[in-house]
Structure 1
């Protein structure tokens, strides 16, 4: 190549250096581009996104063509630089030329293009896809030979090289995407989306009204008591039973009782006939599943039963929706009305209050993987029924038993300990 002018060799050298930089940028952008946004853009008709997505279905092929191009550029640039150095200064400067060329390639062909591609992966990836797609077709035999050898080497180590299936986002990945959305999604909407993802982790026992707090109509009670209950009840639907909740007859909408009263036909028999057949929900049913069941069955309320058919409590559609949008009802058991702040920073809390409600209201982190109420949490921890005046440190929270009744804790005083406060601040 002695007859080739130095100016032409210099031009070829620059071209090879920038060619290597192009392949470096293409590799980084295609490997870092957001797969879910890529799929969205491809399905929306973006041609560059479609080409990039098609390339990424076989990462071994796209890496084959990228690395072939990158290494070709680097090696060819080294050869051209060596030839120019020998013609200009002789073989004595080869070491210097090698060092300078290494630095140039590192900056111009590696660091700079890869940094650019990492900062702007989408435009770089889409632009690169227009070049790599036809290039892959042209040199496919060479790429196939390289991939064949590399794939068999990987299989020898037990690595699968099957084509990639369409990207599927797990619940945790979706959670991370929602959290990283920042100002793109309003804070309220972001909290609702995260709550929807958490529905599958919670069951109907987490939100149900416990059996002892279920308000219903006992047809065996005095008639004046029944009428009084219908007039003062805060609920629109009440279970109708005879004697006890083990003998539920149906679910009564209070509006039906009002219509019967206005028509002068309100009796025990008409109340019984106006009640709809009860809807039973097995314990352990995920909230997401039950939400869909309510929609399918066109019901708003159900009775939670255990494996033996014994009634555990009652759950409503509103209570599940509150897990998503937050509290919007009033005067219901287990709500913040059972939590009373004190001047010293502590809280008097009824023992029947749900642990979930305490955590949600106070921003605490009491454990949720065990008992559902404060009473259950304390008694499980102590393995005994404590007497008033008993104090303990529970999961980083100071607990003082204020009042008990029978086998249950009626009121306890809780205060966040310094350990719990520090842990919560670190999490935030």
Structure 2
């Protein structure tokens, strides 16, 4: 073998190593593509994305054509390297060629190309699709034969290609995807998306205004008292009841009576005529279901009842929307009488304040799988109704009872214990 032949074989070997690197990078690039970004780019008309998407529809065929090409060039390269090595070193060239070719292929045709493809899958996969797609048509008989045998082996192992996982995301996977989106999605939008996913975990009972805080019109009051209440009300909708809140007769929208309030001959019958039938909601209804129910019934205000029909409180469309977008006020601790910040960093919190509301607005993690209010949380932790002012730790929050009235904790001082302190005990 003359020098010209040796040079030609060396050039051919170098080309085969480049082809091996191409197939290796193509495989990693195709498999590393973000399927959802790929779908988006394909819909916007990106040709490379469309070709890559078509190839990925039949992953078995794509892998088949890549591996056929890769194995062919690697084996061919091995044969060429052996011929060159034997020409240079005789019989010892076989061992030398094996070692040297292994190192060269490992570095230049496997690790380096695959690392680049993993880092920049789109830059590798999209151009490669222009070669792989026509190559698949040319080698289709060989690919079909290989897939026939591999399919048979998979059937023997009782594995079906159709059982492979789809691109559909579960709720938890979607939550992770949103949280890991980085700066691509503003943090406020992330919170809203995650809140929508959490709606089915939250029931109406978690967001209600409790019955002791309901502001309504009692028909047993005199008309002067009722009119004074209507003229000074800070609420748009008021439930109308007779004697007891469990005996709700209707819901009055103040917009409907704005003109009547200027008249002197207004009476209770006129109020009832302008009121709307009450809309009752079971306490265990998930928020995502109730949001749809409000939409279907064209309502914004509902009376929450328990399994016995007793009124527990009220829930509004705005309450559900606040679960998604957050409170409409800028600083809850400054606008809510239930949470009063102190100069020393503690908070005086009303016993009737909802635990979820406290967590959401103060960034705490008080347990929410049990009692719904701070009073309930304290009494459950103590396993008794406190008779005197006591101090306890709930989920890493030091809680000191301030006021007790009618067997109910009316107020407490609460603050989070710094995590570095070893005496924190979990509930």
- Fold shared per TM-score above 0.5: yes
Structure 1: stretches of 5+ with no match in the other structure: 423-428
Moved over 6 A (4+): 1-4, 330-335
Partners of 2:231 and 2:261 within 8 A in 1? no
Q: Structure 1 CA distance, aligned partners of 2:200 and 2:336? A: 24
**Residues 303-350 of structure 1, C-alpha deviation per residue, up to 9 Å, x if partnerless?**
122233222211111111112222125999997431122333322111
Deviation string 1:182-201 (CA, Å, 9 cap, x unpaired) is 22222322322222222232
Structure 1 segment 21-420 matched on structure 2, within 5 A:
21-162=21-162, 167-328=167-328, 336-419=336-419
Structure 1's 332 and 348: CA in aligned 2 closer, same or farther, altered over 3 A?
closer
* Structure 2: runs of 5 or more not aligned: 423-427
Preserved contact between residue 85 and residue 96 of structure 2 (Cα < 8 Å): no
- Single out whichever of 311-320 and 255-264 deviates more from structure 2: 255-264
Matches within 5 A, 1:4-15: 5-15=5-15
CA positional deviation for 1:24? 1.0
Cα RMSD (Å): 2.6
TM-score under structure 2 length normalisation: 0.91
Q: CA deviation at 1:270?
A: 0.6
Which is worse superposed, 116-125 or 333-342? 333-342
Give yes or no for contact 1:355–1:373 (8 Å, CA) kept in 2: yes
1:351, 1:375 within 8 Å by CA — same for their partners in 2?
A: yes
Whole-Å separation in 2 of the counterparts to 1:276 and 1:408? 35
Q: Which string of whole-angstrom CA distances, capped at 9 and with x for unpartnered residues, describes residues 115-174 of structure 1?
A: 111111123222222222222222223222322332333344443311768622333333
- How far has the Cα of 1:79 moved from its partner? 1.1
Count of residues paired in the alignment? 423
Question: Residue 333 of structure 2 contacts residue 361 of structure 2 at CA under 8 Å; is this kept in 1?
Answer: no
1-structure distance, mates of 2:211, 2:382: 24
Give SS of 2:259's match.
Answer: helix
Answer whether contact 1:240 1:248 (CA < 8 A) is retained: yes
Alpha-carbon contact 2:117-2:124 (below 8 Å) kept:
yes
- Residues 94-122 of structure 1: CA distance to partner in whole angstroms, max 9, x if unpaired? 32222221111111111111111111112
Tell me the distance in 2 between the aligned counterparts of 1:159 and 1:205.
Answer: 46
Contact 2:333 2:339 in 1 (8 A): no
Kept after mapping to 1: 8 A contact 2:334/2:340: no
8 A Cα contact 2:333 2:340, kept in partner: no
Question: Are the counterparts in 2 of residues 58 and 163 from structure 1 also a CA contact under 8 Å?
Answer: no
SS of 2:64's partner is: helix
- CA drift of 1:63 comes to 1.5
Q: Following the alignment from structure 2 to structure 1, what is the Cα–Cα distance between the partners of residues 3 and 198?
A: 73
Question: Partner residue of 2:425?
Answer: none
Note closer, same or farther for the CA distance 1:41–1:332 as it changes in structure 2 (3 Å cut). closer
Change in CA separation of 1:343 and 1:356 when aligned onto 2, cut-off 3 Å: same
Query: Quick check: 2:333–2:341 contact (8 Å CA) kept in 1?
Result: no
In structure 2, relative to structure 1, the CA distance for the partners of 1:54 and 1:165 (3 Å cut) is farther
Counterpart Cα distance in 1 of 2:282 and 2:171: 25
